[in-house]
Amino acid sequence: MNRILFWPLWAGFWTIIGLVNFGSALIFMRRIQPGIPAWQPLVWELSSVYVIGLLLVPLVVYATRHLEFRRDRWKRVLVAHFALTVPFSLLHTSGMVAIRKAVYWMAGLSYDYSSGNLAGAVLYEFYKDILSYWMIVLIAIGFQYYNRYRERDRQLAEVQLQNLRQQLNPHFLFNTLNMISSKMYEDVAQADAMIARLSDLLRMTLRTSRQPEVPLRTDLEALDLYLEIMKARFGDAIQVDLNVDAHAHEALAPSLILQPLVENAFRHGVNGQAASGRIRIRASVSDHTLTLRVSDNGPGFQDSREAILNRGFGLSNTAARLQQLYGDQHRLDLNNSDGGGAEVVIRIPYRVA
Amino acid sequence: MRVLIVDDEPPARRKLAEFLRRERDVEISGEAANGMQAAELIDELQPDVVFLDVQMPGMNGFEVLETIHGRIPFVVFVTAYDQYAVKAFEVHAVDYLLKPFDRNRLQACLSRVRDQIGRDSGRDIQARVEKLIAEATGRAYLNRVMVKNKGRIIFLQVRDIDWIKALSNYVELHAGAQTYLLRDTMSSLEARLDPAAFARVHRSVIVNRDRIRELQPWSHNDYLLIMKDGTEIRMSRRYHKNL
């Protein structure tokens, strides 16, 4: 919301609450003290809600943000909130009494708050304030959750968009189109076949944004299309070695999880020594875990894990997707294997559609 | 004109070759499948024009040109998708082709090339390409050079060079126990070396500052440089300020 507009609207909101309270207070007071001027109950109610709305609500919201109910410390947070009710009520009472005294003084009158029983009056306000305090806390927590939910939604959308952009990798797309345009002069049937493969792959890519997880079998089909296109582009120089456990075929995996890893292996591992490039892909299931391994025989990872994952594409996108889908329940390891070459290992919970 | 085709994808090379073969004045003198091969062939074949793929594994198109010495051929960059590179090509008025292209595009490009080759003496193009390379590689100075040794091609890191001596049409690069010949002139090489790392100490000598062990007074205000490996190099007076 507009920052400049917020505070006037906020004050207006509390004025309305004060006016509603004033209505009920006026009817009540006119019954027990018929001649009371209307402005007096108005001052009582407005002073009360303004102190709450303009002073105490911001303070309580601030406190709520720092006193988060978490599983490991909810008891302490609860005690802290109960303790805070006391200063809350004292501030409320003293604040509104100060305002009332000031207004009465300006009207040439004097305001008597407690009629001699200060402790009783303060206790009376305190009981009412317990309810106000907790209402504010609950609403603040509600807003917190709502904001967090919206933020997650936004992040999810961002990851999805990035994902799509990566899979629709323009570099891959235009190079593939170039390969097809070359094939057209040599073998029309094969060029045609490549257009069909590319179309299938694009369709699968577009589906990814709607379907975050697919059986690994589906992902392997997409990988097949990708590899066929890569083979047409680079020839048979690169050997791809696929080994998938029988159980793994039906396991749910993030859609198009393998392709970026294989692409990475193509780009960094295999390339440059085209004659002997070799990519190994393994999928296995054990202990309720699906393990996916993609390794190459290139020079291996040259940078730290952080540096690689902060580069903003490829593996960093994979890491973000895994975090989004599985939270703490996944592992992503980047290793350099003994024989040289990079290896990416993903471990996620084994589930079947 | 003699043309070299550089691309890591065989179909891409075939298509370009197919189109170029239909041009009367074009002769394809070679094809390279990666950056190293490209650098070797440019040096060996001295083509007039190179169609150079930008994204290649190992050594990309810019790095290929960085290692080339002497005459940089007329370059047409070929790229599938690279917003930054394309912007750089525009800025430096360097020719480029976007993949995929059809024959018309290539012919339009070729006629621009014919035009410019006839007009520019090459100096102008070379300066533009050099600026582009410095920008694209993020290095203002030479990083590695391609040299030949007993028939083998070696990509020598510039920081490994101890000192450089001028011969008539060549320079002699001394790196450790090895000596390499490079077809280049002293002044052109000096201009491309980082002055913080290399200093000219004589009309015919450039030294790597890190490899100097000591400086001894010599006759007529001249000095004698003693390198870490014991090599003695005379430093003439007019280059004193360089050290």
Q: Is the same domain home to B85 and B173?
A: no
Q: What is the mean pLDDT of residues B211-238?
A: 85
Residue whose pair of structure tokens reads 């008597």 in the numeric block = A112
Distance from CA of A175 to the nearest CA of B (A): 6
Write down the pLDDT at residue A324.
Answer: 84
Q: What is the pLDDT of residues B128-146, one digit of tens each?
A: 777 787 777 777 788 888 8
In whole numbers, what is the pLDDT of chain B averaged over residues? 86
Asked if the model's pLDDT at residue B57 lies above 80, the reply is no
What is the rounded distance in angstroms from the CA atom of residue A226 to the CA atom of residue A261?
12
In this structure, what token pair is assigned to residue A45?
A: 């109610």
Q: Is the pLDDT of residue B121 over 70?
A: no
Residue A192 in this model has a pLDDT that exceeds 90? yes
Find where tokens 């490899």 sit.
Answer: B211
What's the pLDDT score for residue A313? 62
The pLDDT-based confidence of A183 (bands split at 50, 70, 90) is: very high
Per-residue H/E/C for chain B: CEEEEECCCHHHHHHHHHHHHCCCCCEEEEEECCHHHHHHHHHHHCCCEEEEECCCCCCCHHHHHHHCCCCCCEEEEEECCCHHHHHHHHHCCCCEEECCCCHHHHHHHHHHHHHHHHHCCCHHHHHHHHHHHHHHHCCCCCCEEEEEECCEEEEEEHHHCCEEEECCCCEEEEECCEEEEECCCHHHHHHHCCCCCEEEEECCEEEEHHHEEEEEECHHHCEEEEECCCCEEEECHHHHHHC
- Is B64 a residue whose pLDDT tops 60? yes
Q: Between chains, do A174 and B57 touch, taking CB under 8 Å as contact?
A: no
Q: What is the pLDDT of residue A86?
A: 94
Q: Where are the domains of chain A?
A: 3-159, 168-349
B6 and B64 Cβ atoms separated by less than 8 Å: yes
Number of domains in chain B: 2
Instruction: Look at residue B74 and tell me whether its pLDDT is greater than 80.
Output: yes
Residue B206 or A300, more confident: B206
Contacts A–B by Cβ distance under 8 A: 63
Find chain A residues with C-beta within 8 A of B81's C-beta.
170-171, 173-174
Distance (Å) from the C-alpha of residue B34 to the closest C-alpha of chain A? Answer: 7
The last residue of one of the domains, among B84, B106, B137, is B137
pLDDT bucket at A103, cuts 50 / 70 / 90: very high
A168-349 folds as Heat Shock Protein 90 (3.30.565)
| Beta carbons of B82 and A183 less than 8 Å apart | no
Closest-CA residue in chain A for B14? A182
Tokens found for residue B204: 């015919």
Res B17 pLDDT > 90: yes
Q: How far off is chain B from A326, nearest CA to CA, in Å? A: 34
Has residue A191 got a pLDDT over 90? yes
Give the phi and the psi of residue A146 in degrees, each rounded to 5.
Answer: -60, -45
Amino acid A269: pLDDT: 61
Measure the CA–CA gap between B206 and B215, rounded to whole angstroms. Answer: 15
Higher pLDDT, A214 or B154: A214
ipTM value greater than 0.90: no
Its domain, for residue B207, covers 144-242
Are B132 and B171 members of one domain? no
B236 touches A: beta carbon within 8 Å: no
Between chains, do B102 and A177 touch, taking CB under 8 Å as contact? Answer: no
Q: Do B80 and A235 touch (CB under 8 A)?
A: no
Strand B152-157 to B223-227 pairing: unpaired
- The 8-class DSSP code of residue A334 comes to E
What digits encode the pLDDT tens for the residues B102-120? 999 999 999 988 888 777 6
For position A284, what pLDDT does the model report?
94
**pLDDT of A271 over the 60 cut:** no
| Contact (CB<8Å) B15/A182 | yes
Pairing label, strands B49-53, B2-6? parallel
Residue A272 has pLDDT above 70, yes or no: no
What is the least distance, in Å, from the CA of A174 to any CA of chain B? 5
- B8–A175 CB contact, under 8 Å: no
Q: Could you report the per-residue pLDDT of A279-289, keeping only the tens digit for each?
A: 899 999 998 99
Do B131 and B186 lie in a common domain? Answer: no
Mean pLDDT of B7-36: 93
A229-256 confidence digits (pLDDT tens): 988 988 877 788 999 999 899 999 998 8
Domain endpoint, select from B86, B115, B137 = B137
Instruction: State the CATH number of the domain containing residue B234.
Output: 2.40.50.1020
Tens of pLDDT, residue by residue over A67-84, are: 888 888 888 889 999 999
Within an 8 Å CB–CB cutoff, is residue B34 touching chain A?
yes
Q: What is the pLDDT of residue A15?
A: 95
- Domain check: are B201 and B107 in the same one? no
CB A161 within 8 A of CB A154: no
Report the Cα A281 to chain-centroid distance in Å: 31
SS3 A67: coil
Residue A337 has pLDDT above 70, yes or no: yes
Asked if residue B66 and residue B131 are part of one domain, the reply reads: yes
- Over range B52-71, report the average pLDDT: 81
Quote the pLDDT of residue A275: 52
The CATH number covering residue B21 comes to 3.40.50.2300
Q: How confident is the model at residue B5 (pLDDT cuts 50, 70, 90)?
A: very high
Between helices A118-167 and A188-208, what is the axis angle to 10°?
180
Same domain? B158 vs B133: no
pLDDT tens per residue, range A287-313: 899 999 999 887 788 777 777 777 656
Q: What is the pLDDT of residue A167?
A: 64
Last residue of a domain, one of B82, B114, B137: B137
CA closest to B98 among chain A residues? A174
* Average pLDDT estimate for A11-19: 94
CB contact under 8 A, B12 and A175: yes
Can you give the pLDDT at residue A209?
A: 64
Q: Residue B123: pLDDT above 80?
A: no
Q: Is the domain of B122 the same as that of B51?
A: yes
pLDDT at B59 over 90: no
Q: Of B79-88, B140-149, B170-179, which has the strongest mean pLDDT? A: B170-179
Query: Average of pLDDT values for B193-208?
Result: 89
Q: Are residues B49 and B123 in the same domain?
A: yes
